Amino acid sequence: MSEIRSYGEKKEMLLEGGGGGGAYLEEGQCDSGIDFIRSLQGQPGEAEPRSPAAGRIPLDKIPGSHSQGKEEPADERLDSSYGSSSIVESLTGLQGEPNPVKEEDNEEERLRQQLLEILAFLSEEGDTLLHLAIIHCMPSIAFCCIAQMPLEVLEFQNDLFQTPLHLSVYLEQFEVVKALILKGVNTALQDRNGNTALHLACEQQSLECVELLLPLKKPVSDMQTRKSLQDLQLQNWQGLSCLHISTLKGNLHLMALLVQNGADINVQDGTSGKTPLHLAVENHDEMAVRQLLRLGAQVDSQMYNGCTPLHLAVGRNDAAIAAILCHSGADTLLRNMENETAQDLADGNNDILTLLPFDDLKISGKPVMCSSRTS
């Protein structure tokens, strides 16, 4: 395990906002004057040590007090001289009502501070204790961290911009994923490749993680308390949405699950404008093409250069997918930015040409549709 170091402002944020409550004081720092006043009873030369059970400083210990050498009720003010009574009043206010400090309370506070110190450290790779617990498959420590850490630390990104949620999804630690989501972590945070936790779940084809991350219409049991939901249209730095990734993987069930939960089936990627249907055609994946068409994909969706899925199928000499698209109503005469129709691209491929109408014959400048099919 890599060397642990403190991480400054994040540490202060953890200790001020966090798991055990209360502000943290650096070692050697004390509150203004309180500890000094309380230490007066422990100065050398005192006749009697201060009783641990004392709730306030005895009046006969205050210099100038009329009660020195006398026994008077503790709750009655006996000093009438200027200055002395104000000291007694301030000390009484500082001490408060009798509240004995026990050794076990001090030990509990010390342990709490130690715990917060541990939770506030980072490894050289920027991993928090929770990151490391997930990496080393220690769920009990992970659950402890999730319970103790404030939300800002649970969402902390390491040097690869991975959150604990990214790692738990990648390693398929389902219970940790569920605990983080229930705690309300931001599921839309992106790693160095722009991937959210849901992108990784689709890449891993982990249906269980996907179901935990999706904004289900019918939440499962205690998952109803989730505070954050995944943006299904969010794209990584390659311009791919989660549906693009699941289509590239050819996972039909995952594709249907995403669409049923609100993913845009005609979403265009950020680089060339390809929809999931374009990607399925490029991959020569007939099953994915049929699945997307069943789910309602637009058969004539166009890329930024104007190419339809049929353009791609014809350009790749894929007669089987071209036939599926034509039977689904694809417009064979749509032109791309280079003014080409699918028929232009099919020149010389008789298997595909038999699927397409001819538009060579024109009357008044309009093409007359003729099919090459023979009866």
What is the rounded average pLDDT for all residues in the chain? 76
pLDDT-derived band at 113, boundaries 50, 70, 90: confident
- What confidence score (pLDDT) does residue 268 get? 97
Handedness of CA 301, 306, 311, 312 (dihedral sign): negative
Q: What is the mean pLDDT of residues 320-348?
A: 92
Task: Decide: 229 and 245 in contact? Cβ < 8 Å.
Answer: no
Residue 253 has pLDDT above 90, yes or no: yes
pLDDT > 90: what percent of the chain? 53
pLDDT-derived band at 168, boundaries 50, 70, 90: very high
Q: Is the pTM of this model over 0.75?
A: no
- What confidence score (pLDDT) does residue 100 get? 56
DSSP class of residue 269? Answer: P
The more confidently predicted of residues 116 and 3 is 116
pLDDT digits (tens, 9 = 90+) for 267-324: 999 999 999 999 999 999 999 999 999 999 999 999 999 999 999 999 999 999 999 9
pLDDT digits (tens, 9 = 90+) for 12-40: 443 354 433 333 334 444 444 334 334 43
* DSSP secondary structure, 105-119, as one string: HHHHHHHHHHHHHHH
Q: What is the mean pLDDT of residues 42-65?
A: 39
The more confidently predicted of residues 286 and 217 is 286
**The 3-state secondary structure of 291-331, one letter per residue:** HHHHCCCCCCCCCCCCCCHHHHHHHCCCHHHHHHHHHCCCC
Backbone angles phi, psi at 122, to 5 degrees: -120, 150
Q: CA dist 318 to 154, 290, 334, 343, 349, Å?
A: 49, 14, 18, 13, 10
Q: Where is mean pLDDT largest: 63-67, 309-313, 350-354?
A: 309-313
Q: What is the mean pLDDT of residues 358-369?
A: 52
- What confidence score (pLDDT) does residue 155 get? 95
Strands 366-367 and 362-363: antiparallel
Rounded (10°) CA dihedral 66, 70, 75, 79? 0
Residue 89 has pLDDT above 70, yes or no: no
The more confidently predicted of residues 144 and 221 is 144
Residue 128 has pLDDT above 80, yes or no: yes
The more confidently predicted of residues 236 and 3 is 236
